[in-house]
Structure 1
Amino acid sequence: MPKRLPSLSGYGLGWSTRQRITVIAIGLTVLLALAATVALFTGRTGNSASHTNTPTGARSTASASAGPTVSAGAGSVAKPPPLADPVAFAKAAAAMVWSYDTRTTSRSEQLAGMKAWLTAETKYADWPSIAAQVPDPVLWSRMADQDQYATATVSEAHYPSAFKQALADDPDAITEAYIYAVTVTGKQQIAWKQGGAGAEDRSITLAVQCRPNANCSLVSIAPHVVP
């Protein structure tokens, strides 16, 4: 049976308590300190699913961009938009991560397209957490055999409370790396051969970098959704 892209909730900045303490203690970067704070307050992703003719055992990737539906059906992954607002960029990034089209896009193209969103500052970039969202070659091939594709729409995005509290405690901290945590929620529509279709609600927390006078870029995908 065809399978969809795996859930985002199990990947990313899954640091242990000891690692968080170590990171803060040695003061590596403000990014890691803020990410540790956010991770401390995370909860598991709550997915409320509603499917029609959904293949047994299939799972979907989800949500995406405020406004019009976002699709990877043009034959390539959506390009990063020239946005300077963290929330607006996070909405677009969620749409990119959760949209795909195996009919027109190979796995290597999917990865290359996603990497174009990654920050160029390697000390902050967490590429593994993003690349992990793409299935292995065998699973991608099976999805392609079923002409599986997904589009997504965003319903809401906000700064999680833990991130806002961290900024309130130290307003100047953000100026070190200008990395923001944004939680995005929305819905994904999936379709495959012979009229198969499904829809599912999704939520995700992203770390995005938006330096002054520069376009935003993607830093990481958190392992859990932050309130």
Structure 2
Amino acid sequence: MPKKRSLSAQGRAYGAPSSVLRRALLGGLVLAVLLAVAGLLAYLTRAESPTATQPSPTPTSTQRAASPEATTGKGAAVAAPPKTSDPIVFAKAATKVLWTYDTRSFSRAEHVAGLKRWMTGEKKYADWESVSDQIPSPVLWSRMHDNGQHASAKVGEGHFPQAFKTALAQDPGAITDAYVYAVTVTGKQSIAWKGSGSGAESRATTLAVQCRPDRACALVGVLPSVAP
């Protein structure tokens, strides 16, 4: 008999068709993003939403404050972000939580609340939609819960994409406005579900991470394509 696939594998494109289209369009921008630091900043400072004009909360309250929805008597739905100033260390930790979930023990709302703790408090740069695209839809999450599905992740290595390093070397001062770094992380995600079902696959992602000199790193977003 053919091996049963996990529900998340069946619905790998978690977002709605409009979200998929959006990611496809952003895919065309990723080349510019990685060709120059200025391109990265242009992507991150795309047209702001009305809420983006509101004053940004303090870093302490936005980046490290615990969400009551993210913690239950069973523990946290998502691990707390590390307090580090190293973009690669942070990106590897962020990748692990993005690839880890437990639909048996936590609701989708709890999972979402936990991930929001990782986001930068600077609304000008935060791209929550690119992160939420990594989360199963409410309907799929419910099906995965019924199936007892959960996932863990082992992160391998993280590095700055070559194009990003080249651009940074050519213009070191360009990054000092937003202090946003592109980091590519590789690893493996393992998935299990009821009936002793399981599977694993190698994965890679490129994240945008903000690491200002005076505060801990925070997540900006997930780039639409993996950069080598």
User: CA-atom RMSD, angstroms?
Assistant: 2.7
Deviation at residue 133 of structure 1 after TM alignment: 1.2
Q: Distance in 2 between matches of 1:13 and 1:186?
A: 26
Q: Distance in 2 between matches of 1:144 and 1:197?
A: 15
Write out per-residue CA displacement over residues 46-66 of structure 1, whole angstroms, 9 at most, x where no aligned residue: xxxxxxxxxxxxxxxxxxxxx
Q: Distance in 2 between matches of 1:74 and 1:149?
A: 15
Q: Distance in 1 between matches of 2:104 and 2:76?
A: 8
Deviation at residue 75 of structure 1 after TM alignment: 4.8
Q: Distance in 1 between matches of 2:25 and 2:155?
A: 23
Write out per-residue CA displacement over residues 18-40 of structure 1, whole angstroms, 9 at most, x where no aligned residue: xx69xx9xxxx77424779xxxx
List gaps (5 residues or longer) in structure 2: 15-19, 46-73
Which of 9, 12, 15 aligns to 1:6? It is 12
Q: Which residues in structure 2 correspond to 1:1-227 (within 5 Å)?
A: 2-4=6-8, 6=12, 11=23, 14=26, 16=28, 31-33=40-42, 74-227=75-228
CA shift in 2, pair 1:220/1:13, >3 Å: farther
Deviation at residue 220 of structure 1 after TM alignment: 0.8
CA contact (8 A) 1:13 1:129 kept: no
Task: State the percentage of identical aligned residues.
Answer: 53
TM-score for the superposition, normalised by structure 1: 0.73
Write out per-residue CA displacement over residues 112-156 of structure 1, whole angstroms, 9 at most, x where no aligned residue: 111111100000000100011112111100000011000001111
Q: Distance in 2 between matches of 1:199 and 1:74?
A: 25
When the two structures are aligned, how many residues end up with a matched partner?
Answer: 183
More helix by share: 2
Question: For 1:124, what is the secondary structure of its paired residue?
Answer: coil
Instruction: State the partner residue of 1:52.
Output: none
Per chain length, whose mean CA-contact separation is higher, i.e. which structure has more relative contact order (CA < 8 Å, sep 6+)? 1
Residue identity in the other structure for 1:3: L
Q: Distance in 1 between matches of 2:44 and 2:108?
A: 29
Deviation at residue 16 of structure 1 after TM alignment: 4.1
Residue identity in the other structure for 1:32: L
Question: For 1:208, what is the secondary structure of its paired residue?
Answer: strand
Residue identity in the other structure for 2:155: V
Q: Distance in 1 between matches of 2:151 and 2:209?
A: 23
Instruction: State the partner residue of 2:56.
Output: none
Residue identity in the other structure for 2:7: K
Deviation at residue 7 of structure 1 after TM alignment: 5.5
TM-score for the superposition, normalised by structure 2: 0.73
Write out per-residue CA displacement over residues 163-211 of structure 1, whole angstroms, 9 at most, x where no aligned residue: 1111012110111111000000001111110111111000000000000
Residue identity in the other structure for 1:127: W
Question: For 2:81, what is the secondary structure of its paired residue?
Answer: coil
CA contact (8 A) 1:157 1:182 kept: yes
Q: Distance in 2 between matches of 1:12 and 1:124?
A: 20
CA contact (8 A) 1:76 1:109 kept: yes
Question: For 1:226, what is the secondary structure of its paired residue?
Answer: coil
Deviation at residue 12 of structure 1 after TM alignment: 8.4
Instruction: State the partner residue of 2:71.
Output: none
